[in-house]
Structure 1
Amino acid sequence: MKWRIVANGAALVVTISIGATIVGSSPVRTNASSKSQVGGGSAIGLLQTIRVESEHGGGYARALFEHWRDIDGDGCDSREQVLKRDSVTLPQVDPYSCKVIAGDWVSPYDGARWSSPSDIDIDHVVALKEAWDSGAWAWSKATRKAYANDTSDKRTLLAVTDNVNQRKSDKDPSQWVPPLKSYVCTYLGNWISVKARWNLSMDISERGRIKNLLDSSCTGLVIEPWSAAPVSGTMLTSPVTTSPAATSPAATSPAATSPTTTSAATVPAQVGVSVYPGAWCKPEGATGIYTNGKSYVCAKTNASGVAYSDGRARWRRG
């Protein structure tokens, strides 16, 4: 349909496609959180707060993360929300299905410009499998769904060139960084923020490569704060069980049950409690034993005394 509008003697022809609408000047809804901002700061400092451990390995299936869902009830799934958010011009959207028909996207990974959504992938900066291997294996189904559709922080999901995203796949920065060199530091900052915000671990090679790049190419990189992740339930869970030794007859002997005096500021050691390294815990100061027999402490700082960015206590080596 074409409308001819005459203003001050000049004719303006406006073309409108039937069944589609141009998004107006009101901001695109992105499920932004109204919670106070946390985290952020020096990239190298935040990197030091992220626990380092071997990847979980095994058990991953993409279906375990319900992705491209409308989790905020606005009628648009998370893919369409990111397409609308990341278009540098007002996108053309089907008003009935909330499908983005056209837009103008500049992929941050390679600088390529696209007008068709078919050329765009929505990338989980920290891929679903990488998240699984870094701690999401222990999340609830609802938390995995929240992560897979997280539009509350723009660093979790990005609109990028499809074949570049496919080459990235589920690689971490030790295996892949964006081909656009000017974006590498931003990418590393995004990676660190997602890992810290969602309490995900890094393996040794991943952390080592990131630190080397920060030291050599991204000196002084500062990461913007974020709102709390939209989780449902505990993000990392590990059954806290009592070992047989703690319930053996010896534990009920008079010597074992005799009263002891402890300072009010001292948290009794939880001998025999099984822990999962890096999982949130309480009370601060409690101790436990990992399955390998090594002792862990519930603390708000890492072994070097650096406070965790979220201010929460977690199990670490004593």
Structure 2
Amino acid sequence: MSPGGNGPTTLAELGEFALIAELVRDLPASDEVLLGPGDDGAVLAVGGSVVVSTDVLVEGVHFRRDWSGPGDVGRKAVAVNVADIEAMGARPQGVVVGFSAPGDTEVRWVLDLARGLRTECAEAGVNLLGGDTTRAKEVTLSVTALGTLDGRAPVRRSGARPGDVLAYAGRLGWAAAGLLVLGRGFRSPRAVVDVQRVPVVPYGQGAVAARAGASSMVDVSDGLLADLGHVARASGVSIDVSTDAFEIPETLETVGAATRVDPILLVLTGGEDHALAATFPPGSVPEGWTTIGAVTEAAEGGPGVLVDSSSFAGVPGFDHFRPGARR
């Protein structure tokens, strides 16, 4: 079915079942998918333990339609979920998607979103297994991602030990810079705007870190310092981040100068990049990862994150329920 012409143009005109048929039409085949959409559940072949994670993206909170195209929204929905599977040291395998929208939403917009879902699934190496659709007041996507540990133990937040080194893979500060730019009504530098719309997840690096012996790992979604705080508290340690270890890209310097925001703050506290941060025994940081700090015994005030061996006075990252919080 093709929207436009004399055909239905909104979801209310198209109907739920015709929409579902359109969304799952010609999904790519995979040896790991034993049964795809069409029954009450899909069947996925997994070896050993299964890792499961769910994220919800809500219009006006996680994306704005005047800032992001439907393809961007679809890609972001997959990326932010698969990043959680990566952070457990697992190999992502599949995603299921719950989608809700007002009845007057254009069919073409939804089909473009579906193409974005498929594009990022291909990028991440995962299978789109199906999902559900319903009517709602705003566009919402709930994505559940599944992965396999391939016989390894999961890399948890609670494994960091004094003497470990801290490293990251991916990008930090780019999405926050893009949000600053968009919030001021601009669309450039394009590089940071694009990352705000679609995070660049370091696919495959979660398993790389696990094989290298990572003792703990986390997906950087709410800000590096905020997410490292989860690791520090779960592990009962302090994590000391060294700002000298970061090479600030020229693009972030440009945004910082234009907005009067120190670019190192974007790196330390900006969320939505979905980089991976992990701790490793000394000498085991794998290629593709950048060392940025160390794990020490818990400081006098208790487990937490230090910046250049001192307490950080600012807000360490994003909290959905903090008064005044907004993306």
Shared fold per TM-score greater than 0.5:
no
| Higher Cα radius of gyration | 1
Greater fraction strand: 2
Greater fraction helix: 2
TM-score by length of 2: 0.26
TM-score by length of 1: 0.27
